[in-house]
Structure 1
């Protein structure tokens, strides 16, 4: 007797979404993954376009009175807009978008409640943009690992050891150029 076997499935392409990043895909074998402490990740999905995306932001928005330096990829205000615009550019429709929010833990007692501020910002942003929030796992004091299959919109969130969460500080930037400029 000769048994028919299914061909082996193609391996999953795992993409880590780091602080300050947003990724979008419709690939059926793609999985986004991130680890969060006080940071927040937004997972967006358009069920009709079978397209999804994830961002990972460190801080909600610049403090009032902070010097305007253009955009900063660590702020949610920038990464939320980037994620939505990338989704729309790849065929999503804003009225169909569905959101999940994860993270926002307050990792260290006695310190600023950055996680709570990030969670509050993300909820408010989605409400202002009229994007349906269908699931959230925010707050507490535990780190989380989030995995998303963007083409299906499936998301898994689980708590992990706090030591797995990235440090809550932006990556160092190259120093700004300085010196005299001569115009011709």
Structure 2
């Protein structure tokens, strides 16, 4: 795809978040049932995006789940990353994307993800200024964190199948903690 002159693309995958204040950066990701929350402080021009697989809870993470899969963890990391770059919580604005039901026979985890993102942002007092969630097709998302501009493209056919396949990849189990103590 042709991008605007001078634009640097930074791609996110499941379990990642990025915070940027460079006007020449566009954050991109591919979403099926996953959700991406895009937050920014319009005064200082800093913004970011996350990409989460499951809503999650602190209890799920405490039970040994991989924290990077869960929205509750990635939302906190994104907000804290913005605050470290000079954003103020009371000025943050959000856009949320994704949450499709890409396989009719599966439970609608996409809807749960979108509902979680909405509720989390509301609970944190962060204004939602845009949303495109649900549906049956994945999305390719582009987000300019310094301006808040967002653009999405629907994924159909082979593109959607590839997205679903990536979301269904088994995530490796966490490595066991060694209990052995070695004395020298």
- Measured against aligned partners, the alpha-carbon deviations of 1:84-126 in whole angstroms (never above 9, x if no partner) come to 0000000101111110000001111121111011011000000
Distance 1:168 1:49, change over 3 A: farther
Structure 1 counterpart of 2:93: 98
Distance 1:42 1:73 in 2: 14
1:156 to 1:10, Cα distance in 2 relative to 1, 3 A: closer
Map 1:143-158; keep pairs closer than 5 Å: 143-158=138-153
Q: Which residue among 109, 117, 120 is the counterpart of 2:112?
A: 117
TM-score, normalised with respect to structure 1: 0.87
Partner secondary structure for residue 27 of structure 2:
strand
**In 2: Cα distance, 1:92 partner to 1:42 partner:** 16
**Structure 1: where are the runs of 5+ without partners?**
1-8
CA contact (8 A) 1:39 1:168 kept: no
Give the equivalent residue in structure 1 for 2:73: 78
With over 3 angstroms needed to count, the CA separation of the structure-2 counterparts of 1:63 and 1:170, relative to structure 1, is farther
Question: 2:125 — aligned with what?
Answer: 130
Distance 1:183 1:27 in 2: 50
1:173 Cα shift? 4.9
Aligned partners of 1:89, 1:61: CA distance in 2, in Å? 24
Question: Once the 2 structures are TM-superposed, how far is the Cα of residue 136 of structure 1 from its aligned partner?
Answer: 0.5
Ranges in structure 2 where 5+ consecutive residues have no aligned partner:
none
Q: In structure 2, how many angstroms separate the alpha carbons of the residues matched to 1:48 and 1:151?
A: 10
- The question of 1:51 aligning with 2:85 is answered no
The answer (yes or no) to whether the contact 1:20–1:57 under 8 Å persists in 2 is yes
The alpha-carbon deviation at position 74 of structure 1 amounts to: 0.8
Kindly indicate which of the two structures has a greater share of residues assigned to helix: 2
State the partner residue of 1:35.
30
Q: How far apart are the structure 2 equivalents of 1:70 and 1:117?
A: 18
Give the TM-score normalised by structure 2. Answer: 0.87
- Structure 1 residues 158 and 71: CA distance shift in structure 2, 3 A: same
Q: CA deviation at 1:32?
A: 0.2
Which structure's CA Rg is the greater one?
A: 1
